[in-house]
Amino acid sequence: MIHGINIKWYCLSISQVFWLILLLNQTAGHKNSSVRDPITDEAQLFLTSPLSTIFMPSFYTLVCLISVPLNAIAVVTFTRHIRPMKPAVIYMLNLACADLLFALLLPFKIYYHFNGNDWTFGPVMCRVVTAAFYCNMYCSVLLIACISVDRQLAVVYPIDSLSWRRPRNAVIACVAMWILAVAGSVPLVIFEQTFYLKGLGINTCHDVQYVDDLQGFYKIYFSTICCFLFFLPLLITAVSYTRVIWSLSRVPHGITGHSRRKARAMVMALTVLVLFVLCFTPTNCLLLVHYLQISTNETGSSDGTYVAYLVFLCLGSVSCCLDPLIYYFGSSQCQRHHESFHSNSISKSI
């Protein structure tokens, strides 16, 4: 069987007749080096194209170089310097951890793509990296949804929500989000993710799958993952930030400082919502469309959709660079910490 998560859809559109012909050729003892791999021409073209072997790993490299130090700084600051640990800080700390872990996995994908989509770290490592990649990505989505709910409670129900917005409840929510993300990625650890393509001479990781697997288990699996780990959090995030913006817009203008804080909060809420939609919505929509095409045997269309999915998945990884800039450097509590730090530094220098 051929298993994979990233490129699996390209390699799933060959008919069962081809498999039978290939098997007959092998049993007949024909060792023809021109025998094609069980993938479409479009899949072969993508696996060997500059898009997957140059552009994508180059973009992942840029994301890794930026996101690792930014999220590492955020984690250190949240754990050692920000006091008290309010619910918002707890959510942002966990988001920074998820983004940092996601970025630390990118070197494996970078080497894999630069190496011509040839996986050299073994099948077990392929399964672990694939599962961890999706686990941290969807954990970030869930934590962003938690932050949006926390913001809604703080702005729309500032008094009534005090009993809910406690550090203990925030910790419980974060643990639950991590459990959901880990549980959702378990099947990717169980099933084989590597497959050797003789014609190309490469060992793919999470890129090649059987049509039967795509139309069966993986169609149900990824449809469920998309619905519960993305579209539901997307709905929650959209509703929460819409209510935040609406509530802030109805607050009467007061003193200059208050107006500035209100405007800043509205811009932050709108920015987070827009970036969330841009970074994650295209990939998950394309994922669902791809499986819809697979289930209706639209081979050519599904290959093109999967190419688009991989490209948007790569571009969407920029979210782990933007999260620390928005949540950490943009939060009022962190800004107060920096102001205090600079004030102390100036006082000591004087």
Residue 176 is predicted with a pLDDT of 98
Reference 22, options 13, 11, 34; nearest CA is 34
Q: Rounded to whole angstroms, how far apart are CA atoms 327 and 340?
A: 19
What is the dihedral sign for C-alpha 223, 225, 231, 232? positive
Q: For residue 33, is pLDDT > 80?
A: no
116 conformational bin, left if phi > 0, alpha if psi -120 to 50, beta if neither:
left
What DSSP character marks residue 11?
G
> What is the band of 57 on the pLDDT scale with cuts at 50, 70, 90?
very high
Has residue 29 got a pLDDT over 50? no
CB–CB of 286/312 below 8 Å? yes
CA distance 137 to 140: 5
Give the rounded percent of residues in the chain with a pLDDT score beyond 90: 52
Fold of 10-334: Rhopdopsin 7-helix transmembrane proteins (1.20.1070)
Most confident of 134-143, 150-159, 289-298, 332-341: 134-143
Of 177-191, 245-259, 286-300, 306-320, the one with minimum mean pLDDT is 245-259
What is the per-residue pLDDT for 56? 96
What are the structural domain ranges in the chain?
10-334
**Range with the lowest mean pLDDT among 31-40, 74-83, 95-104, 334-343?**
31-40
Structure tokens given for 286: 């394309």
Cβ neighbours, 10 Å, residue 22 = 15
Q: So what's the pLDDT on residue 14?
A: 35
SS (H, E, C) 56-106: HHHHHHHHHHHHHHHHHHHHHHHHHCCCCCCHHHHHHHHHHHHHHHHHHHH
Average pLDDT of the segment spanning 151-159: 91
pTM above 0.85, yes or no: no
Give DSSP secondary structure letters for 161-209: TTTT--HHHHHHHHHHHHHHHHHHHHHHHHS--EEEETTTTEEEES---
DSSP state of 253: P
Average pLDDT on 247-251 reads: 84
The residue that leads in pLDDT, 249 or 18, is: 249
* Confidence at 261, pLDDT banded by 50, 70, 90: confident
Would you say residue 127 has pLDDT above 60? yes
pLDDT band at 26 (very low <50, low <70, confident <90, very high): very low
| String of DSSP letters for 17-64 | HHHHHHHHHHHTT---TTPPPSS-HHHHHHHHSHIIIIIHHHHHHHHH
Q: Are 276 and 138 in contact (CB under 8 A)?
A: no
213 falls in which pLDDT band (50, 70, 90)? low
* Higher-confidence position of 197 and 171: 171
Average pLDDT over residues 321-334: 77
* pLDDT for residue 336: 61
3-state secondary structure 291-336: HHHHHCCCHHHHHHHHHHHHHHHHHHCCHHHHHHHHHHCCCHHHHH
Q: What letter represents residue 314's amino acid?
A: C
Confidence of residue 27 (pLDDT cuts 50, 70, 90): very low
Where do we find the tokens 């730090």?
A: 341
Is residue 339's pLDDT more than 60?
no
Q: Contact, 92 vs 171, CB < 8 A? A: no
C-alpha R_g of the chain: 23
Q: Is pLDDT larger for residue 229 or for residue 339?
A: 229
Distance in angstroms (rounded) separating the CA atoms of residues 60 and 182: 23
Q: Which two tokens stand for residue 344?
A: 């102390």
* Residue 105 predicted with pLDDT over 50: yes
Question: Are the beta carbons of 174 and 147 closer than 8 angstroms?
Answer: no
Average pLDDT value for the chain: 82
